[in-house]
Structure 1
């Protein structure tokens, strides 16, 4: 995991500014993840896996302003940006740790992840899904907004070409584009169908892909 940490330590400074340009479906992608974050708790406990700069957490707080958040990430620099983002706000914990085997001190109402789990091996993804299930309260929800492989080599190549065409026209500088392409070298995406099976095998009910735009997906599972 050291190469992942180093990559995102280096990218932390301009990460948020580039998100809208690097994620062509930004509003629907993150908007779906937030819309799925339903809970009857007034002060829900939320665990954000691979939280990075806290982007997804910041969007969740607009919906659930009293939430108590734990942001976990490997990158010190990413978490430093998150701390600046949430400066002065209480109820937020920052953990610099590998989240694949993290055990929450108290069971969570919501566990979320945004564009992080696709950096793990298939075995790592399955471990995260099992761990998320174990860290949730009964009735708790897991939401993974991430990227997947196309289900055939032709479809996967089409996804990649579409993304490249869109970001090349986004206004990003050549240096920003080159850095984005370099970051894709650490991607270890898996297929959508396989991951829905892995979520069910981890114990989740009502497993679904609620949103999909090319290789950007939002996956859902509930701990019955």
Structure 2
């Protein structure tokens, strides 16, 4: 029999119980984990106003030079190929006019899997934004594909990544129907060359990984935790910058952990552990000087809750370094977004933070700044500079220091726990400086 997660009424009861506690002005309650392991998590705030977050201006040319001037043009060519491939896919099943039918009708015609229908909605929004009411010609699509590959080469993506882009764009109908998985294309033959090309072996990623590595090294850390380390693309740059340190490499996937053990076998100081940003993140570890999370925290179901949990893993004055995409590019909607669809059997589909119900994955640059400040971080820095060519990639390196405005989280008082059924007692309670909540969605 399927396990039913707590209802909105259940979560509302937990919230009211928490908000009745001394010192708690506001609480937000959500579920973490999934299936039988789903658990209640809570954020609490004392209600003090959050000062306007300030961001230190980065050196304007630190990541940009003559080499990065090609980024905007190359990305425009890649975006053009993606949106034309989306238009071709949609128009194969829509012969009476693109904007005469709703998203559900288009998804039905595509025979889209339920878990991927949010991607179809993104596709239709992309076509509307690009004013593409008619299908591209074969010649136009072929030319765009050639331009995509030329741009891929100019940005330094390996040939395997080019094949991945081309195959994904030509496989959109099968991907959206769940006849093939994006993982089978990205890790074709069990190899990681394409994935490393996406996260390491290109001009954009090299600059961002270097900036992240320099931010880590500036802390002169003795202990580093990397969350969602994946193929180790950022790990390479950081290890080169910091030398031998106590480095805990974590990921949710045993596949990546096993590959990392083999790949970094020659390195001393590296340890490995399973860690899921959507589950309780308590580690039996001493606090870390630096926590690094590259291209992973957008997977968090609730960004504020995950940032608060990470803050509790940092030593006083410790530094969090993030690399995050902040723009929903068309090429991503036609490729990597398939990795973000919920499992077919997921009980907790979708996001529970400011992205809830919005058919998007990435927080904006401004939203990340607000989330970091609300979760108790200070001394925020963001690169690249907004006016530089690298900013066209929509990816940023965020650096923030653990603040000390609020106390460490305390366990739920026994009298409050007794007022709740056992399955509703929060598994974790995080004290934050402020809550960023869409009240229309809040239980």
Normalising by structure 1, we get a TM-score of 0.75
CA offsets per residue over residues 184-215 of structure 1, 9 Å max, x none?
23442111111111101111111232224431
Q: What is residue 212 of structure 2 aligned with on the other side?
A: 33
Q: What is residue 106 of structure 1 aligned with on the other side?
A: 286
2:312 match: secondary structure: helix
When structure 1 is superposed on structure 2, of 94-103 and 201-210 the one drifting more is 94-103
Give the one of 213, 217, 220 matched to 2:399: 220
Q: What is residue 382 of structure 2 aligned with on the other side?
A: 209
Give the one of 50, 53, 58 matched to 2:228: 50
CA offsets per residue over residues 11-63 of structure 1, 9 Å max, x none?
36222244356x5512211111111112244xx11110101122212211111
Quick one: distance in 1 between partners of 2:334 and 2:215? 30
CA contact (8 A) 2:244 2:268 kept: no
CA offsets per residue over residues 144-196 of structure 1, 9 Å max, x none?
011113xxxxxx5xxx25xx4xxxxxxxxxxxx9xx94322344211111111
Give the one of 333, 336, 339 matched to 1:183: 336
Quick one: distance in 2 between partners of 1:185 and 1:53? 18
CA contact (8 A) 2:228 2:275 kept: no
Instruction: Report deviation, 1:87.
Output: 0.8
Q: What is residue 245 of structure 2 aligned with on the other side?
A: 67
CA contact (8 A) 2:204 2:393 kept: no
Normalising by structure 2, we get a TM-score of 0.40
Structure 2 vs 1, CA of residues 13 and 126 (structure 1 numbering), >3 Å: closer, same or farther?
farther
Quick one: distance in 2 between partners of 1:92 and 1:60? 12
Quick one: distance in 2 between partners of 1:205 and 1:103? 22
Quick one: distance in 1 between partners of 2:260 and 2:325? 22
Q: What is residue 425 of structure 2 aligned with on the other side?
A: none
Q: What is residue 194 of structure 1 aligned with on the other side?
A: 367
Quick one: distance in 2 between partners of 1:134 and 1:82? 26
Q: What is residue 314 of structure 2 aligned with on the other side?
A: 136
Structure 2 vs 1, CA of residues 192 and 17 (structure 1 numbering), >3 Å: closer, same or farther?
closer
Give the one of 271, 279, 287 matched to 1:93: 271
Quick one: distance in 1 between partners of 2:182 and 2:319? 30
When structure 1 is superposed on structure 2, of 47-56 and 9-18 the one drifting more is 9-18
Instruction: Report deviation, 1:8.
Output: 6.0
CA contact (8 A) 1:76 1:96 kept: yes
Q: What is residue 124 of structure 2 aligned with on the other side?
A: none
2:265 match: secondary structure: coil
Instruction: Report deviation, 1:134.
Output: 1.0
Structure 2 vs 1, CA of residues 196 and 85 (structure 1 numbering), >3 Å: closer, same or farther?
same
Q: Structure 1: which 5+ runs fail to align? A: 150-155, 165-176
Provide the alpha-carbon RMSD of the alignment: 2.8
Please list, as runs of the form range in 1=range in 2, the aligned pairs for 1:108-127 lying within 5 A after superposition. Answer: 108-121=288-301, 123=302, 125-127=303-305
Structure 2 vs 1, CA of residues 36 and 97 (structure 1 numbering), >3 Å: closer, same or farther?
closer
CA contact (8 A) 2:183 2:339 kept: no
CA contact (8 A) 1:73 1:79 kept: yes
1:27 match: secondary structure: helix
CA offsets per residue over residues 94-150 of structure 1, 9 Å max, x none?
1123134322311000000111112223x1x2122111211111121100011113x
Q: Structure 2: which 5+ runs fail to align? A: 1-32, 35-114, 116-180, 341-360, 385-390, 404-443
Quick one: distance in 2 between partners of 1:213 and 1:112? 23
Structure 2 vs 1, CA of residues 34 and 8 (structure 1 numbering), >3 Å: closer, same or farther?
farther
